[in-house]
Structure 1
Amino acid sequence: MTKTSRITTPFSATSTAAEVVAGVDLTGRRAIVTGGASGIGIETARALAAAGAEVTLAVRNPDAGQATAEDITATTGNKQIHVAPLDLADRASTAAFAAAWDGPLHILVNNAGVMAAPETRTPEGWELQFATNHLGHFALTTGLHAALAAAGDARVVSVSSAAHLRSPVVFEDIHYRERPYDPWTAYGQSKTANVLFAVEASRRWAGDGITVNALHPGGIQTNLQRHVSTEEIERLVAAAGSAGARWKTPEQGAATSVLVATSPLLNGVGGRYFEDCNEAPAHQPGTRTGVAAYALDPEAATLLWQVSEDALSS
């Protein structure tokens, strides 16, 4: 098989969501942004709305969602901004959201997440970060498959992280029942799962016109870091600085999500990982950029899909 070329765009780490969507007309298209009432979710939703999309904010806090919807309408003039409750760690909530959706869905941005949480388990005994960041989005997206297929050319955006470089999915003990819990490897594992999901979903659903890609938004100081101490944030800032990186604004942090969701350059492209508005190269040891080979491994992607289906059906 001939290796496909890496996707490059005119945009970069400093581009904003508004810049990457400029000139794209999303009139008549419907989008969902999970976690759309905080952090980069707000700016992702705002950019999609500014381009004319009907946007549903899928949020844990409907009051915050309503305030965000009003703000987006005020700044874009788009009144087609809706709010719906969604708790990704709650199977009933995820199922109810998917069941309530009516009609086609053109863009699904799986943006919500939890980072470096202290050891917490769902009622099923699942580790919280894997349950929220991967299993919840897996259940949501598969539950919305018919709506995505009805669109004919739908895109799913899986917001991963450079933290996927911290850990592959450890299939032998995903939920830390045997090994000592570490909040950062647990987060990394869940972010690797976000990439593997894009790989397998694109393979399975290409015939339905659905493409799925993953991305690293960059370092953005948002509520995602609520479980991270000030000392740890300072350490991360220092490490980012030494690697030549820097914190992005929320508008810049949302840019890669919006590009993956809307750019004509990605028509028909799936199963890939992007950072700084371009497809990422292979990870090189000693760096904090690129995509790990294990995150794109098709066998691991197929296994994760089966493990996820089994978990959700039990």
Structure 2
Amino acid sequence: MTETDSPTFGADSTALDVVEGVDLSGRRALVTGASSGIGVEAARALAAAGAQVTLAVRDTAAGERTAAELRASTGNDDVRVVHLDLADLATVRELASAWSGPLDLLINNAGIMHTPELRTPDGWEMQFAVNHLGHFALANALLPALTEAGDARIVVVSSSGHASSGIRFDDPFFVRDAYDRGLAYGQSKTANVLFALEATRRWADRGVTAAALMPGGIWTKLQRHWDPEVLADMKRRFPTKTPEQGAATSVFVATRATLGPGTPAYYEDCHPADVVDEIVDGVHGVVPHALDEAAAHRLWELSESLLADEASRPAEAELPT
């Protein structure tokens, strides 16, 4: 089902609303970060529609508890758990090497936000590493499975925070400049959109398309690094969604949106976002630097180079906690 023949959905729609009447029997989905927040609700909706759903999580004990609850609430017993730490690319490779058969839906949902300055053993700034590079590596490693599906979709959870920064090609890891957690987050969310844009350009002829999205203002563990006063002020000033509503656009892009070359690369409230010079109300719209095709191509090449360098290095110390 596509946008042209689907019901109308909006900011108040839930993920379960979106999948009403959708049959995903025989389809396979993998959702990263699906042990809390909107990842759980996206997984719930996909399972309720009949998909086999794999929860890719750092904490597998939490993942197993979530899987048990999803099986009980949806009546779908085909909900699985695998380990994935997007800051540790060895786990990305392990997941991909263990995957067998096609993958119809890859939901790149996991993310971190406004963290203190943290780095991977490779020296990569943590927000860019987790939010973009880990998912970039995962999608590329799973490309054979996505291609095998024949009509696969990659759904990338971005944010209106993308407006705060384009890609800092001259200093993406804040080696030269002082670390700024807001700019680091914004860069990583711009990277999410650019990845979706370039993935569709490169992979559409293999039957793999992608789009990014803004889930809305949902208050979850994602904001745990925020100043409490700032968080309280944001909750007063901006529209708020429940996790069930926040997952709706992820599920809409996964099941109903029209994807492919030349189609919108960024969605909000279950419809394509307007291109704006400045984000409206802190929530709505996508700014031009997130849709720059030259930047998307350049980011892809940078990401490939970084992953190639990482793969050639010996294993190092444990990641920071």
Length-normalised TM-score, structure 1: 0.94
Structure 2 counterpart SS, 1:215 = strand
Structure 1 counterpart SS, 2:224 = helix
**Structure 2 match to 1:45:** 43
Cα gap change, 1:303 to 1:230, in 2 (>3 Å): same
Equivalent of 2:145 in 118, 134, 147:
147
**Structure 2 match to 1:300:** 295
Cα gap change, 1:44 to 1:96, in 2 (>3 Å): same
Equivalent of 2:69 in 59, 68, 71:
71
Cα gap change, 1:6 to 1:296, in 2 (>3 Å): farther
- CA shift, 1:152, in A, is 0.3
Q: CA separation in 2, counterparts of 1:47 and 1:308? A: 32
Q: CA separation in 2, counterparts of 1:248 and 1:42? A: 15
Can you give the 5+ residue segments of structure 2 that lack an aligned partner in the other structure? 310-321
**Structure 1 match to 2:206:** 208
Cα gap change, 1:118 to 1:55, in 2 (>3 Å): same
**Structure 2 match to 1:169:** 167
Q: CA separation in 2, counterparts of 1:299 and 1:178? A: 24
Using the TM superposition, name which of 286-295 and 167-176 deviates more: 286-295
Structure 2 counterpart SS, 1:211 = strand
For 1:247, give the aligned amino acid: T
**Structure 1 match to 2:186:** 188
Q: CA separation in 2, counterparts of 1:286 and 1:6? A: 27
Q: 1:260 aligned to 2:258? A: no
**Structure 2 match to 1:243:** none
Structure 2 counterpart SS, 1:79 = coil
**Structure 2 match to 1:108:** 106
Equivalent of 1:217 in 215, 218, 223:
215
Q: CA separation in 1, counterparts of 2:18 and 2:279? A: 30
Cα gap change, 1:86 to 1:271, in 2 (>3 Å): farther
Structure 2 counterpart SS, 1:177 = coil
- CA shift, 1:267, in A, is 5.2
- CA shift, 1:238, in A, is 3.7
Can you give the 5+ residue segments of structure 1 that lack an aligned partner in the other structure? 241-245
Structure 2 counterpart SS, 1:227 = coil
Equivalent of 2:25 in 16, 21, 27:
27
- CA shift, 1:228, in A, is 1.3
Contact 2:156–2:192, Cα closer than 8 Å, also in 1: yes
Q: CA separation in 1, counterparts of 2:293 and 2:38? A: 29
1:80-159 counterparts in 2 under 5 A? 80-159=78-157
Deviating above 6 A after TM superposition, structure 1's stretches of 4 or more consecutive aligned residues are 5-9
For 1:309, give the aligned amino acid: E
Contact 2:210–2:259, Cα closer than 8 Å, also in 1: no
Structure 2 counterpart SS, 1:56 = strand
**Structure 2 match to 1:310:** 305
- CA shift, 1:182, in A, is 1.0
For 1:311, give the aligned amino acid: L
For 2:189, give the aligned amino acid: K
For 1:180, give the aligned amino acid: A
Q: CA separation in 2, counterparts of 1:22 and 1:14? A: 15
Using the TM superposition, name which of 77-86 and 268-277 deviates more: 268-277
Cα gap change, 1:139 to 1:293, in 2 (>3 Å): same
Q: Residues 164-209 of structure 1, C-alpha deviation per residue, up to 9 Å, x if partnerless?
A: 0111111111000011111111001000000000000000001011
- CA shift, 1:229, in A, is 2.3
Identity within the alignment, %? 55
Q: CA separation in 2, counterparts of 1:206 and 1:227? A: 37
Q: CA separation in 1, counterparts of 2:165 and 2:138? A: 24
Contact 1:217–1:257, Cα closer than 8 Å, also in 2: yes
Cα gap change, 1:27 to 1:219, in 2 (>3 Å): same
Q: Cα RMSD over matched residues? A: 1.7
Q: Residues 129-151 of structure 1, C-alpha deviation per residue, up to 9 Å, x if partnerless?
A: 00000000000000000000000
Contact 2:194–2:290, Cα closer than 8 Å, also in 1: yes
Structure 1 counterpart SS, 2:23 = coil
Structure 1 counterpart SS, 2:170 = helix
Contact 2:160–2:279, Cα closer than 8 Å, also in 1: no
Structure 2 counterpart SS, 1:266 = coil
Cα gap change, 1:223 to 1:96, in 2 (>3 Å): same
- CA shift, 1:91, in A, is 1.1
Q: CA separation in 1, counterparts of 2:98 and 2:208? A: 21
Q: 1:56 aligned to 2:54? A: yes
Q: CA separation in 2, counterparts of 1:190 and 1:65? A: 25
